[in-house]
Structure 1
C-alpha cells in the first residue's frame, strides 16, 4: 500500500478515511490493525483487500496492483488471492460444513483438492463435523468453518475483520490460536482488524491508526501494552 488516500463525500462535506497511508505487510506475518472508532481501520482493510478502491495511491496484493482493475477482475482476484473471515460467520444454512468450505472454489468454477480440503478441515478441528449444517454447530465451530473456507483457496492473504467479536472469551482464544497456528505452521499471511488488545497480542505486529494515518507500530506487544497505547490514542483524539 503506497500513499493511499480514501475520501468519501457526505452531503457537502468530505470525510478523509485514509490520508496518504504507506505500509508493507510482510508475507507469512500476522498483522493486527487497531485504532479508535472512526480511525480508518475498516477502510484500510477494505482497500488492502480490494473490496474498496482508493481515491489515490496504489495497492498491491502479492505482485498484482489492484487500483486500476475493474470490479469483475477484482472479484476474480479476491477469489484467487484473498480469504475473508468476518465477525458474522456468513455461512449458507442449507449447506453442509464441507460445502460451505468449498463454496469459493465452486463459485470460481473449480473443484476442491481432496487432500488439501482434508488437511484444512483437520487443522481447524472439524473432522467429525463435515456433514453437519451450521445450525448444528456452536459459534466457535461456525467461525472455524469460516476460517477453513478462507484457507481452502490457498490465498496469499487472509483478511479478518473483528473475527472474534461475536464469540465468548474462551472460544475467541481458540479461534485466535488457530489464526496464529496457520501463520506459524502454514506460512499464511493474516491481516486482522480488531478492537481487542488481547486479540491483537496474538499478532507479530500491531498497526495503530488515528484520523486515517498510521501513527505507531508495536511488535510482539503484550495485551496490557497494546491497551495502554490504545488509551493514549483515545485521549489524543479526544483532545484534538
Structure 2
C-alpha cells in the first residue's frame, strides 16, 4: 500500500536510499558559492528526500540554506559534490539544454512575484510552458486545474484586471499545466495580504490532498508552514530538525530554538 502524505513525510530524511516515495532526493549534496578565500559553503553534504504527494515546507534563519536547497532540488544550481535526483533522473549529469527541458516539463515554479505576461490573457499565461515545451494543451487537464484553483471564469482577462490573489492562482495553474513531478513555491504569499495569503496556502494544500501534487515551499512564516504536512528546518547549511503535522505554535517554537544555535 502506498503511504499517505504524513507517512511519506516521516521518511523524508531517515530513508533516502531508494527513490520509492520521493519526488526529489539530495544525496550528500554540497553547494559552494564563490572561489578561494571568498568561497561560502551554503549546504554541507545534505541528504534528504522530498516526499511524493505531500506538502513540504522548508524553514530556517536567514542564510540557513533553504533557498539553496530549493535551487539544487529544482535544477537551477548544481551541487559542488553529491547528487540531486528527480525521481531516478540524476540532475547533476545533465547538460544545460537537458536541464532547461526538464524544468519546462517536470518542474513547476510559483514565486512571490507572479511573473505573468501583462500582454497575454489568463489562458495564454497558463499554457505558456506548454508552448515553450512544444506540447499540446490537454483540454481536460486544463479545465481540471483551472477549476481546482478557482479561475475558470477569468480566462478572458489579462493580469492587470486581476487582484493579487487571482494572479497568484493563475501562476499556480501555470505551474501545474505540464503535470510536473514537483512544484516549488518560494515565499508564494509574500506579496499578499493575510486573508488572501491564507486562501492561496489553503489552495496549495488542497491541490496536494485532492490531486496528489508534490509541493515544496520555502517560507519564513510559521503560519504558512502550518499548512504543510511536514516541515524541514535548516541552519548553517544543514538539516537540523523536522516536524510532522505542524501547527503555527510548534513551528515558531522550533524556529526560536534555531535562533539560539
- Could you list the per-position Cα deviations for residues 144-178 of structure 1 after superposition, in whole angstroms to 9, with x for gaps in the alignment? 00000000100010000000111111001110011
Q: What is the aligned residue count?
A: 236
Report the CA distance between 1:11 and its aligned residue.
6.9
- The residue number in structure 2 matching 1:167 is 192
Report the CA distance between 1:10 and its aligned residue.
6.0
Alignment of structure 1 residues 1-240 onto 2, 5 Å:
1-9=26-34, 12-236=37-261
**2 CA distance for matches of 1:121 and 1:26?**
25
Report the CA distance between 1:110 and its aligned residue.
1.2
**2 CA distance for matches of 1:193 and 1:214?**
14
Structure 1 unaligned blocks of 5 or more: none
**2 CA distance for matches of 1:152 and 1:198?**
28
**1 CA distance for matches of 2:65 and 2:249?**
23
**1 CA distance for matches of 2:110 and 2:193?**
17
RMSD value over aligned CA atoms?
0.9
**2 CA distance for matches of 1:10 and 1:227?**
35
Structure 2 unaligned blocks of 5 or more: 1-25
- The residue number in structure 1 matching 2:6 is none
Q: The residue matched to 2:125 in structure 1 has which SS?
A: helix
Q: The residue matched to 2:50 in structure 1 has which SS?
A: coil
Structure 1's consecutive aligned runs of 4 or more residues displaced over 4 angstroms after TM superposition are: none
- Could you list the per-position Cα deviations for residues 115-136 of structure 1 after superposition, in whole angstroms to 9, with x for gaps in the alignment? 1111111111111100100000
Question: What's the TM-score, normalizing by structure 2?
Answer: 0.89
Q: The residue matched to 1:23 in structure 2 has which SS?
A: strand
Q: The residue matched to 1:4 in structure 2 has which SS?
A: strand
